[in-house]
Amino acid sequence: MQGEAFDKLNEVIAEIEATTIDSAEQLAAFRSRYLGSKNILKELMGAIRTIPNEQKKDYGQLINKAKTTAQEKFDNAQVAIEIAEDTKGNSDIDLSAPGEPIALGSRHPLSLTMNRIISIFQKIGFIVEEEREIEEDWYNFTAMNTPEDHPARDMQDTFYLRDDKNMLLRTHTSSVQSRVMTTQKPPIRIIAPGRVYRNETISARAHCQFHQVEGLYIDKDVSFADLKQTLLYYAREMYGPDARIRVRPSYFPFTEPSAEVDVYWGLKNETDYRITKGTGWLEIMGCGMVDPNVLKNCGIDPEVYTGFAFGMGIERQAMLQYRVNDIRWFFENDVRFLEQFEAEI
Ligand code: DAH
């Protein structure tokens, strides 16, 4: 391909390629010469009239090549100049330096233990119910067969929120039982995790706030055998397939009969002796058959339905699982303590 127009065009392409663009001014000049409304390539395009027909196609393609080269050069230079502008006066910024790692948090050990317990019961069809921590006396005590002046109220030192003693910080998650039974119809199969409060002196073993998981199952023909089997299942999931439990008679106002459940912890070393008081058994929860009075108080016919309930503390189980020797660690938010649970999910 030859001819004046071709030569001129090739010259322009060489010129585009050779141009250096280091400033906004050079960028503007480049744009108007090669990409602007009256740019040189348009002018050269006009010369296609003078090209013999059989060469017109080649000429057109060469023009297009020139245009793309100019556009690419322009785009790249524009980005480079923008970056240079942005970092002007910040010349010590090293854009190639690796980023700061993002510090990930960790789950609280009580959440870890609680989530484990929840998923064990979810697997057999229990549904999570969450309820209020500020509760009316009726749901926390009266409905749960613990009327005013009932001696069982002495078992729990209550934080009352008003002089009339009607509003309180719930002393147990059993309050969720009455909330659920007054609003849902059997069959009911729920677990209720949450925080509870008692006016206790804070020590390595006791705190004025702690956590429980409550369970409630109400249907026709629910029996104590169902309760035992459910709790054995729980113990085996939580403490291993060989876990053993024992069920001891006890007393709670809201269940009849009532029981406490121990899991066999063993007596292998001195610590085992200390935490099980030399018996090898560890108490993990209270439970029983829902007292007919409770069902009646909440509008469920005790002639038709029966149910079981249980309530367990979380802190003690978390302390055992993670070998934490002082309950206060859970509430102090000391990151040196919390960071140790980073690997857990
Ligand atoms: N609410 C009792 C407590 O705080 C624990 C408990 C015992 C819950 C027996 C229950 C139950 O549901 O049936 O100590």
Ligand 1 atom nearest to CA at 288: 13
pLDDT tens-digit map of 163-219:
878 899 999 999 999 999 999 999 999 999 999 999 989 988 889 999 999 999 999
Q: Please determine, looking at this structure, whether the domain spanning 109-341 carries the CATH number 3.40.50.2000.
A: no
Q: Which amino acid is at 82?
A: E
Ligand 1 pocket mutation, candidates 310, 314, 316, 317, criterion most atoms within 8 A of CB? 310
pLDDT tens-digit map of 263-315:
998 888 888 888 788 898 989 999 999 999 999 999 999 999 999 999 999 99
Mean pLDDT of the chain: 91
Please answer whether residues 184 and 149 qualify as being in contact, where contact means their C-beta atoms are separated by less than 8 angstroms: no
Ligand 1, atom 2, lies closest to the CA of: 311
Q: How many helices (H) and strands (E) does the chain have?
A: 12, 9
Name every protein residue with a CB atom under 6 angstroms from any ligand 1 atom.
172, 174, 214, 252, 255, 286-288, 309-311
Beta sheet of 281-290, edge-to-edge order:
127-128, 188-197, 209-219, 306-313, 281-290, 255-264, 245-252
Asked whether the CA dihedral 13, 19, 21, 24 is positive or negative, the reply is negative
Length of the chain: 345
Ligand 1, atom 13, lies closest to the CA of: 287
Ligand 1 pocket mutation, candidates 145, 170, 172, 262, criterion most atoms within 8 A of CB? 172
With a pLDDT cut of 90, the percent of the chain lying above it is 64
- For residue 271, report the distance from its CA to the centre of ligand 1, in Å: 27
Query: Domain ranges in the chain?
Result: 2-83, 109-341
- For residue 213, report the distance from its CA to the centre of ligand 1, in Å: 9
